[in-house]
Amino acid sequence: MDLILVIIAATACGLLSLSVALLLLIKTSLANILVKYGTPFAAGVLLVAALRDLIPEGIMIGGASILNATLVSIVVFFLIEKGFTGFHHHHEEDLVERKNPTQGWLFIVGDVFHNFVDGIALGAAFLVSPATGLVATVALIAHDVPLEVGEFGVQLRSGFSVKQTILRNIVSSFTLLIGAILSFTIGESSGLQLGHIYGAIAGFFIYIALSDIVPTIHSSEKTRYGLQTLFLIVGLVFGGTISSVAHQYIDVGHDHGHDDHDEHDGHDDHDEHDEHDWHDDHDEHDEHDD
């Protein structure tokens, strides 16, 4: 059942992002607004998913050492983006008029890799719990819609036709589904260090969020505290609300990955029962001696 949820969530992420991007590209003014205000909103949701769900769960499983995985993840994704600009790039400059076919292909390759990593993050989130998976789904959709808008614009201006752009982005979006299925099935059936995986995925979310916040808010916001700052806060509140509601109603009856703890409690109860039986036998023996 959980695998079905993963497939539905991954498909929703890919198709919804593509659909909204297509609709908004019809009206450039709306696309500009989405990229400008949707990016800080998405950053807020991503931070909630990382700091309220993935990192606490990772620490619960693997201890504070999982923060090392978070740090390594942030550095690795920084180096990837530093060396390959097509991996993560969807700010206002994507909507500036220019024509560069090479850049269009770079964005497609980068989108394939980025979607695959998004899929891995989504599958890992569902390994924590369905509620955490839902929060990650909302975070990734909020993040990927502005991404697709920017990339669609770049590819169209690079000389690709509308049909070519749609088909290539549909194909690249399937890598999100593949990554989610692989991440979930491998993580569920193997002895991987899930705590460190959660920490690494949290690092990915944090890096995306902060690399969106810094260029978008600090570079383009004219006032000290403007609408972009407000949308970041709205994203935090929205993500926190979704997280709280999801954990309250979706995780009911979910073991949350703590079978070992429950098993340990079962052993404690068994030991207590044995000790009680021993005392009863001992008392009975003393009474017989009397």
Encode the chain (290 residues) as per-residue pLDDT tens digits: 688 999 999 988 888 877 777 776 677 677 778 778 888 898 899 999 999 889 998 999 889 999 999 999 999 988 887 776 555 554 444 444 445 555 556 667 777 888 898 899 999 999 888 888 898 999 888 888 877 777 777 777 767 777 777 787 788 888 999 999 999 998 877 666 788 889 999 999 999 888 867 777 887 788 888 888 899 999 999 999 988 888 887 765 555 444 444 444 444 444 444 444 544 555 554 544 45
Between CA 26 and CA 180 the distance in angstroms is: 30
DSSP SS3 for 214: helix
Give residue 122's pLDDT. 92
Predicted confidence (pLDDT) per residue in 151-185, tens digit? 777 777 767 777 777 787 788 888 999 999 999 99
Q: Which residue has the tokens 């944090």?
A: 206
Residues 240/231/79/135 CA torsion (nearest 10 deg): 30
Angle at 20 between CA 14 and CA 24, to 5 degrees: 145
Between CA 8 and CA 180 the distance in angstroms is: 10
What is the chain's length? 290
Token reading at 14: 């890919």
Predicted confidence (pLDDT) per residue in 263-275, tens digit? 444 444 444 444 4
pTM: 0.74
DSSP SS3 for 169: helix
Q: Which residue has the tokens 């990915």?
A: 204
Q: Tell which residue, 240, 241, 219, 239, has the closest CA to residue 228.
A: 219
